[in-house]
Structure 1
Amino acid sequence: MNETAELDLARRILAAQPFSVLLGARLTAFGDGEAVLELDIREELLQQNGHVHGGVLSYAADNALTFAAGTVAGPRLLTAGFTIDYLRPAEGDVLRAHAQVVRAGRTRVVVRCDLRTVTGDGEPALCAVAQGTISVPAAA
C-alpha cells in the first residue's frame, strides 16, 4: 500500500470514531512511524480560563500515539497506557499532536507525542508532551 492509500485508510478509521468527528479531528500525516493529528481550537474546547481543556490535549495525544503505532503494527491496536505532562497553557488556533514511534515490539509499541498549538501566523508553541504504550492484541 502506498503512502497516499495508507493516509486515506487512516482517515477512514478516524472518521469512524464518533468522538473524533465531534471534535473535528483530522489526520494530516501518517506513515513511517509517525502520525500528526490536528484540530481547530474553538470555544467549546476551552476550560474556564480560556485555555484548551486538558482532556482535549489528552484525547489528541492518545489518538496520535495510537495512529503512529498503527504505521508499524497495523490498525487493530489498543492504548495500554500513557502519561502526559502539561508544559504551558494551550492557546492558539490549531492544536497539533505529532507522535513518533520510539520502539516497536511484537506485543507493545512505545510512542512519544509533542503537542503544540499554532497561531494564525504559523508560530508553534509546545504545550504538552506525552509518552504511551500501545498494545498489539494477539490474532484471533
Structure 2
Amino acid sequence: MDHTITDRIHTSFAAQSMMVTLGAELLEVEAGLVRITAPILPHTQQQQGFGHAGLTFSIGDSAAGYAALTLIPLDMEVVTAEIKINLLAPARGDRLIATGRVIKGGKRLSVVTAEVHAEENGSQTLIAILQGTMVPVPR
C-alpha cells in the first residue's frame, strides 16, 4: 500500500481527540483493513467493571471508517452514515482490539464491518460486531 495513504490514516487518527481520550492506538493499516486497540481503563468501564459499550462502539466505528478511508481518493474523507452494533459478550480483560474491513467500497458509499475482541491474559474473545455505511465527503 502507498505510504501516502498510511501517513494519511496515522495523521487523521492522531487528530481524533476521542481516540486520545480512550488511549487508543493504531495497530495495523492495510488497504481495506484497519486495526485499532484501546486499553480498558477505569474511566472506560461500566458499572460492573467491564469495558463500556461506548468504548467498544467508538473503536469499532473508527476502525471501520479508517478501513474505508484507505480506499478512497486523497481529496476525500469519510463520515459514518449509519452503523449498528451487536454486543456478543462482556468486554472483560486488559484491552480491546477492533478490526475494521471494507466489504464493498464505492464512490458514493462503502459498506464496512468491524469485529471487536477483548483480550485477557493473551486470550481473545469476540465481544461485538458492527456493520455500517461510510460516505465519502470532500476533504
Superposition TM-score, scaled by structure 1 size: 0.91
Q: Which moved more, 1:62-71 or 1:74-83?
A: 74-83
Paired with 1:114 and 1:20, the residues of 2 have a C-alpha distance of 17
Q: Is the 8 A contact 1:64 1:99 kept in 2?
A: yes
Cα distance in 2 for residues equivalent to 1:69 and 1:59: 16
2:60–2:130: 8 Å Cα contact kept in structure 1?
yes
Structure 2: stretches of 5+ with no match in the other structure: none
> 1:63 is matched by which residue type in structure 2?
S
- The answer to whether the 8 A contact 1:102-1:111 is kept is yes
Provide the rounded CA distance (Å) in 1 between the counterparts of 2:7 and 2:23: 17
Query: Which residue of the partner structure matches residue 128 of structure 1?
Result: 128
Could you tell me which runs of 5 or more consecutive residues in structure 1 were left unpaired when the two chains were aligned.
none
Distance in structure 2 (CA, Å) of the matches to 1:119 and 1:2: 34
**1:17 and 2:16 aligned:** yes
What code does the residue aligned with 2:101 have? Q
1:92 — aligned with what? Answer: 93
CA contact (8 A) 1:6 1:30 kept: no
Shift, 1:6, TM fit: 3.4
How is 1:106-121 mapped onto 2 (pairs within 5 angstroms)?
Answer: 106-120=107-121
Task: Point out the more displaced range, 23-32 or 68-77.
Answer: 68-77
Q: Distance in 2 between matches of 1:131 and 1:27?
A: 20
Q: Render the CA deviation track for 1:87-117: whole Å, top value 9, x for unaligned.
A: 0101111100001110011110001110001
Check the 8 A contact 1:7/1:29 in 2, yes or no: no
Task: Report if aligned partners of 2:9, 2:70 keep a CA contact under 8 Å in 1.
Answer: no
Aligned partners of 1:9, 1:78: CA distance in 2, in Å? Answer: 15
Contact 1:6 1:31 in 2 (8 A): no
Q: Partners of 1:45 and 1:86 in 2: how far apart? A: 16
Give aligned pairs, total: 137
What SS is found at the alignment partner of 2:70? Answer: helix
Alignment of 1:46-57 (within 5 A): 46-57=45-56
SS in structure 1 of the partner of residue 77 of structure 2: coil
Q: Report if the CA contact (8 A) 2:110-2:134 is conserved.
A: yes
Q: CA RMSD, aligned part only? A: 1.6
1:111 is matched by which residue type in structure 2? V
- Percent identity between the two aligned chains: 31
